[in-house]
Chains A and B, each alone.
Chain A
């Protein structure tokens, strides 16, 4: 698919350090995106309902107010929002979290790498697959 305008990503992340790391990783992957940030689940829901529709959501799990599982639960049954692909991006690799996210229709579950090189690689992989192979809604 030919690139047109940069894709719009919504990053749902409460940790400022992780937001910075994600931005660095995007830069490292030389991926030009329009990045919107929501610092908690409530804010994410508000952005999704009122803001421009993102092409993809990167969702952390442990968030203040409304956590990632609750965000999934709400978004994935909302007829207006349910088709937006949501990638869970979290430090947790517990089978319970993985199960719970797929049960709530996360589109895929990725473990957040701790170092920048690996994070950059992950961003490249997300870009190559979701914006190179997949047909988005």
Chain B
């Protein structure tokens, strides 16, 4: 089981849809494991946040990243490629969370080093279930790298 944490799990959600952001926030707020959700609306913003180029460098580095594929400015695959090539960021687990279910997107995501690939259900209730499943598996069971 995952070790006890002294601080809430830091999650970075890279997502341009405000509806999905709100839904994810609500599910995580009700979860038993305390977490803090940071949001980046596009790929460029995500990298700036992660690299501390945004003037908030005191912010703790995320323990987990939820990454959409279709994003403005820089898409999910490009973000993933940058993360995996960065010695400071390469260990952070990345969960692809996207509306895409194309086999090509699945393959290329795993090849680029995504930790897992989840197709976002369109149905509201199913989406909630998926976020809950991520919380249950990744926050309660998995050992995450200690990024503090």
Interface residues of chain A, those whose CB is within 8 Å of chain B, are 76, 79, 82-83, 85, 93, 95, 98-99, 102-103, 105, 107-111, 113, 118, 122, 125, 128-130, 132-137
- Rounded to whole angstroms, the CA-CA distance of A133 and B144 in the bound complex is 19
- Determine whether the beta carbon of A129 is less than 8 Å from that of B133: yes
Closest partner residue, chain B, to A87 (CB atom): B142
- Rounded to whole angstroms, the CA-CA distance of A24 and B143 in the bound complex is 23
Nearest 7 A/B pairs, CB to CB: A83-B110, A102-B91, A129-B137, A109-B143, A133-B133, A134-B116, A137-B110
- Rounded to whole angstroms, the CA-CA distance of A34 and B53 in the bound complex is 48
- Rounded to whole angstroms, the CA-CA distance of A30 and B118 in the bound complex is 24
Q: Is B31 an interface residue (CB 8 A)?
A: no
Q: A residues within 8 A CB of B134?
A: 133
- Rounded to whole angstroms, the CA-CA distance of A87 and B88 in the bound complex is 22
Q: Is B57 an interface residue (CB 8 A)?
A: no
- Rounded to whole angstroms, the CA-CA distance of A105 and B137 in the bound complex is 18
Number of interface residues, chain B, beta carbon within 8 A: 31
Q: Is B113 an interface residue (CB 8 A)?
A: yes
| Candidate in A82, A95, A103, A107 with the most chain B CB atoms within 10 angstroms | A107
Q: Can you give 28 A-B contacts (C-beta < 8 A)?
A: A82-B110, A93-B3, A95-B145, A98-B144, A98-B146, A99-B146, A102-B90, A105-B84, A105-B113, A107-B116, A108-B116, A109-B142, A109-B143, A109-B144, A110-B142, A110-B143, A111-B1, A118-B1, A129-B133, A129-B137, A133-B118, A133-B130, A134-B116, A134-B117, A135-B101, A135-B119, A136-B106, A137-B106
- Rounded to whole angstroms, the CA-CA distance of A98 and B144 in the bound complex is 7
CB distance from A69 to the nearest CB of B (A): 13
Closest partner residue, chain B, to A90 (CB atom): B143
Q: B residues within 8 A CB of A99?
A: 91, 145-146
- Determine whether the beta carbon of A83 is less than 8 Å from that of B107: yes
| Candidate in A95, A129, A130, A133 with the most chain B CB atoms within 10 angstroms | A133
CB distance from A91 to the nearest CB of B (A): 12
Q: A residues within 8 A CB of B145?
A: 95, 98-99, 102
- Determine whether the beta carbon of B107 is less than 8 Å from that of A137: yes
Known interface pairs A107-B116, A108-B93; 19 further A-B residue pairs with C-beta atoms within 8 A, sorted by A's residue number: A85-B116, A102-B145, A108-B115, A109-B142, A111-B2, A118-B1, A125-B137, A129-B133, A129-B136, A129-B137, A130-B116, A133-B118, A133-B130, A133-B133, A133-B137, A135-B106, A135-B117, A136-B117, A137-B106
